[in-house]
Amino acid sequence: MKLENGNLVLNIDEIKLLSLVTMQQIDPQYTVEEFIGSMASIKAESEEYIRETQSKPDFSKRDELKIGVTEAVIEVCEMLSERAYSIVQDAGYTIKWQ
């Protein structure tokens, strides 16, 4: 991942990883704010899914496995967000939230 003209440009490994996590084709380039916001949104939705699944009255071993996969999604989002923040900070770029 690198910062170019206010945009984060993902490398091929990051594109593949994020494509697997989201099960969608990922663009190689995003505005910083869009990328970090997307990671936060995916993380929030994943955390909500975990809470809902854990509260099911018929919670099963299969649900435990689903939660494990969802926790891995959260870890990927956190890792990519941290990487993006670090790149932005190192470049002296200011994030402009709207």
Q: Is the pTM of this model over 0.85?
A: yes
DSSP labels, 9-77: E--HHHHHHHHHHHTS---SEEEHHHHHHHHHHHHHHHHHHHHHHHT-TT--HHHHHHHHHHHHHHHHH
In a domain, residue 14? The reply is: yes
For the stretch 43-88, pLDDT in tens is 999 999 999 999 999 999 999 999 999 999 999 999 999 999 999 9
Amino acid letter at 45? Answer: E
pLDDT value of residue 83: 96
CA distance 26 to 98: 23
Residue 96 domain flag: no
Residue 13 within a domain: yes
53 belongs to a structural domain: yes
Could you tell me the residue range of the domain that residue 13 belongs to?
A: 2-91
**For the chain, how many structural domains are there in total?**
1
Residue 72 lies in a domain: yes
